[in-house]
Chain A
């Protein structure tokens, strides 16, 4: 059974770059039938999709975060990563990585959401 595990610093200073990694076990990240994504949840608030990537490195980002987000994949390590630059207190959140089943292609890939989630990792932005 596939499992995802987030890792990275729990504390990041304002204006610096938040970096997280998601390690996939129990299956290959190189599967052509999935995308891989990051979702975050500020304390006491709802879920926010950040972006998605496939094994070839094709990426899609939330428009309001696009200028600060980079998602990358390392198939040799079965990992994908999130970098979020110029962070502020508003970026303090529980960050989840997840698997997104690919449902087909139109003008871009179609996916319905996330079927496997990591346990999440808390990132606090504070000096």
Chain B
């Protein structure tokens, strides 16, 4: 159950698009569709943004999208807005009904 690998930080200007990667193995990200992404603002609980690789919960902006290729999942945010500045975490189902998180990525909107 090693943590998934995410870049420590990414940045972009308002209106631009950014992508955050999340790399695991065939025993987690690569083996299942159960990959999700969370947004966490300072002092707040995480919020589900993407589930099952590419599905958006009701109420989440369509500027957020997810994908997966092999052992790497990605979160793309288009039309960056100041309110998108936050920490982002990926998670994946792993073997034996366990979950594993990525280390988190700090998004800075310049």
Give the interface of A toward B (CB within 8 A). 37, 46-49, 52, 60-64, 96, 103, 107-115, 117-120
A49 near B101 with CB under 8 A, answer yes
Binding site for A on B (CB under 8 A): 1, 3, 32-36, 38, 45-48, 51-52, 57, 89, 91, 93, 96-104
Do A115 and B51 contact each other (CB < 8 Å), given the known contacts A46-B101, A49-B99, A120-B45? yes
* Nearest-neighbor residue (CB-CB) of B103 within chain A: A46
18 contacts between A and B (CB under 8 A): A37-B99, A47-B38, A47-B91, A49-B98, A49-B99, A49-B101, A62-B98, A110-B32, A111-B99, A113-B36, A113-B91, A113-B99, A114-B36, A114-B38, A115-B57, A117-B46, A117-B47, A120-B45
Q: Is the CB of B34 within 8 A of A103?
A: yes
Chain A residues positioned under 8 Å from B89 (CB to CB): 46-47
Contacting residue for B98 out of A47, A63, A103, A119, CB 8 A: A63
